[in-house]
Amino acid sequence: MPRRKQFRKVSKEPLISIFKPAGIPAKELDEIFITVDEFEAVRLADFEGMNQREASDVMHVSQPTFNRILTSARKKIAETIVRGIVLRIEGGEYVLPCDVRVFECKDCGTTIDAPLGEPRPKTCTQCDSDTLFRKKQLKADEE
């Protein structure tokens, strides 16, 4: 069976998606982009104070992947404030809680996330049971 594509869970999109130094027209400034999943990594690790194991679980990625996302985001944010340039937060590979359906295996209790638009999972990823049932939708502030 083909491996399911991994997707990164983001609790919510950033309130502000562009940061610009005051008093200088944007057209005179360089820009740097961070993706919404990079923003989420910084939010979880540096704002919420989670360790990387907790944060990688929340984002549904491996710890090395989380570390890579976080390192990249921190480097770009540092470059923004050191060079005094524009920071934009946009794009990236991520899903929001409202985009995810959650199924639970009746036999072993494993939960399986499936983004909207992808086929419903047929068997459990842990025990191959086919008795999956849909759990209620995650709310944005539940995690």
Interatomic CA distance for residues 113 and 33, integer angstroms: 28
Decide: is 129 part of the binding site for Zn ion (CB under 5 A): yes
Residues 55 and 44: beta-carbon distance below 8 Å: yes
* Piece of the chain touching Zn ion by CB under 5 A; list 19-27, 48-56, 117-125, 135-143: 117-125
Interatomic CA distance for residues 26 and 67, integer angstroms: 31
Q: Which is nearer to Zn ion, 65 or 110 (CB)?
A: 110
Hey, CA dihedral for 104, 108, 122, 111, is it positive or negative?
positive
State which of residues 61, 73, 105, 138 lies at the interface with Zn ion (CB under 5 A): 105
State which of residues 126, 134, 140, 143 lies at the interface with Zn ion (CB under 5 A): 126
Decide: is 127 part of the binding site for Zn ion (CB under 5 A): yes
Q: Whose CA is closest to 12, among 115, 74, 98?
A: 98
Decide: is 98 part of the binding site for Zn ion (CB under 5 A): no
Q: Which is nearer to Zn ion, 126 or 137 (CB)?
A: 126
Decide: is 104 part of the binding site for Zn ion (CB under 5 A): no
Helix (H, G, I), strand (E, B) or coil at 47: helix
- We find the least distance from the C-beta atom of residue 133 to Zn ion, in angstroms, to be 11
